[in-house]
Amino acid sequence: MTAIATIRIQEADFDVGQEIAALTRNRTDIGAVVSFSGICRGSENGEPIAALTLEHYPGMAEAEIKRHADEALSRWPLTGLTVVHRVGRITPGENIVLVLAASQHRQAAFQAAEFLMDYLKANAPFWKREEGLKGSSWIEARGHDDAAAERWTKS
């Protein structure tokens, strides 16, 4: 069967179990599904977080995620991918992002999921504003996220 990539950007929450069921429904060629779900923390560096607000440029964000999903499909023998990223106001304990990678064997699924998550964290076109006790501020990219994404660069 052909590998299918599903990419959604949405305000609504998602259910990880339902997403895995949708990815694997009627598929007997899948031997492994690796999932990463990012959840809004309640604090950062000891400071409470009231909420995160994520914004994106509609159309561009989906296209960029698809470009990296297509790269993952070309680099690893995958049978399917799902990327769901939320936007809007998200409070502590709520889901932010989900990456599912399916393959016949676990190694490809693990690597593809890690590749996609490193990309999303470092380079995806989302802007994140954090609300805390001192007001709200935009969150800058972090060097360790860039370093994680850089290791996937082809030589």
Which pLDDT belongs to residue 78? 97
Asked if residue 24 has pLDDT above 80, the reply is: yes
CATH number at 25 reads 3.90.1170.40
The Cα 81–Cα 114 span in angstroms is 12
Per-residue model confidence (pLDDT) at position 46: 85
Number of domains into which the chain is organized: 1
| Average of per-residue pLDDT across 95-99 | 97
User: Which pLDDT band holds residue 117 (cuts at 50, 70, 90)?
Assistant: very high
- Whether pLDDT at 1 is above 70: no
Domain residues for the domain of 58 are 4-150
Whether 155 is covered by a domain: the verdict is no
Give a yes or no: residue 76 inside a domain: yes
Stated pTM of the model: 0.89
Domain assignment present for residue 86? The answer is yes
Confidence class of residue 155 from pLDDT cuts 50, 70 and 90?
A: very low
